[in-house]
């Protein structure tokens, strides 16, 4: 009798398990943002279906001009044609470290690894009094820079899509379409107090992937 009850419970659990998994795995891409601030004991998590992100990006008038294009233009000191040419040349090189800056305050590294462009910025922890002030939050400039670590991973295809526009415009629509295919981390920022993570997956919750 006890065995048959256990078997029944087991079968019930097995039948419920796929349904529970299906509830989390929506088949739709979700953009997740998680911000944790240890000092304030505050946690913020945002989960947005990429369709909503797409709607926002398509229609934000201040940033994105009509037809889903970002205007970079010459006001930023770089012509879009130059950026495209440089990117084409870099794409031809394959895996390489494009930029390495080793400074007193931070190290910057921009490299291509497979289909990903990695931007790593490591702010060195300040020594002595400055570091102490940064930790205590006395100096606003120093605050958050002691031991800050930024990891940005951009898929090559995303840059390709963005640069597929014409003239001085970046093609935002194509970039968003490419972003819809992306799964995994996009940005990670970590310092001694806070931790920010932005990623895309197909879960409507942060519970399994966000931890």
Partner 1 sequence: MAKLAVILGVPIALLATIASLGVVVVDVREGGPHGNRIVVPVPLVLAQAALAVAPAVTPADKLRIPDRDVLEHVGLAREVIEALAAAPDGELVRVEQPEETVVITKEGRSLKVHVSGSRENVTVNVPLHLALQALPDERGHIRTLALAGALSAVRFTDLVDVQDGNDHVRVWVW
Compare residues 41 and 99 and give the one whose CB is closer to partner 1: 41
Nearest to 205 by CA among 19, 17, 51, 48: 48
Give the N- to C-terminal CA distance of the chain in Å, as an integer. 41
In sequence order, what are the beta bridge partners of 34?
Answer: 45, 197
Compare residues 53 and 108 and give the one whose CB is closer to partner 1: 53
Residues in 58-97 that interact with partner 1 by CB under 8 A: 58-61
Q: Give the residue, chosen from 42, 97, 102, 115, that forms a contact with partner 1 under the rule CB under 8 A.
A: 42
Q: Looking at 4-12, 44-52, 111-119, 179-187, which segment touches partner 1 (CB under 8 A)?
A: 44-52
Rounded Cα–Cα distance for residues 190 and 141 (Å): 17
Compare residues 12 and 23 and give the one whose CB is closer to partner 1: 23
Q: Is 183 helix (H, G, I), strand (E, B) or coil?
A: coil
Q: Does 55 bind partner 1 (CB under 8 A)?
A: yes
Rounded Cα–Cα distance for residues 87 and 154 (Å): 13
Q: Does 30 bind partner 1 (CB under 8 A)?
A: yes
Min dist CB 208 to partner 1, Å, is: 13
Q: Does 199 bind partner 1 (CB under 8 A)?
A: no
């Amino acid at each position: 009798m006890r065995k048959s009850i256990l078997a029944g419970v087991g079968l019930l659990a097995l039948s419920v398990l796929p349904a529970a998994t299906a509830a989390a795995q929506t088949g739709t891409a979700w953009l997740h943002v998680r911000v944790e601030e240890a000092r304030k004991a505050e946690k913020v998590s945002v989960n947005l279906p990429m369709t909503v992100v797409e709607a926002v990006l398509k229609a934000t008038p201040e940033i994105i001009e009509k037809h889903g294009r970002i205007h970079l233009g010459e006001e930023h000191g770089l012509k879009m044609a130059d950026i495209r040419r440089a990117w084409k040349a870099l794409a031809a090189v394959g895996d390489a470290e494009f930029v390495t800056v080793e400074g007193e305050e931070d190290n910057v590294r921009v490299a291509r690894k497979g289909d990903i462009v990695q931007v790593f910025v490591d702010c060195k922890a300040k020594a002595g009094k400055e570091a102490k002030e940064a930790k205590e939050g006395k100096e606003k400039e120093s605050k958050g820079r002691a031991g800050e670590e930024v990891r940005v991973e951009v898929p090559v295809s995303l840059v390709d899509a963005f640069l597929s526009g014409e003239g001085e415009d970046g093609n935002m629509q194509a970039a968003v379409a490419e972003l819809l295919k992306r799964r995994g981390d996009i940005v990670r920022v970590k310092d001694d107090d806070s931790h920010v993570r932005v990623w895309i997956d197909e879960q409507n919750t942060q519970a399994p992937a966000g931890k």
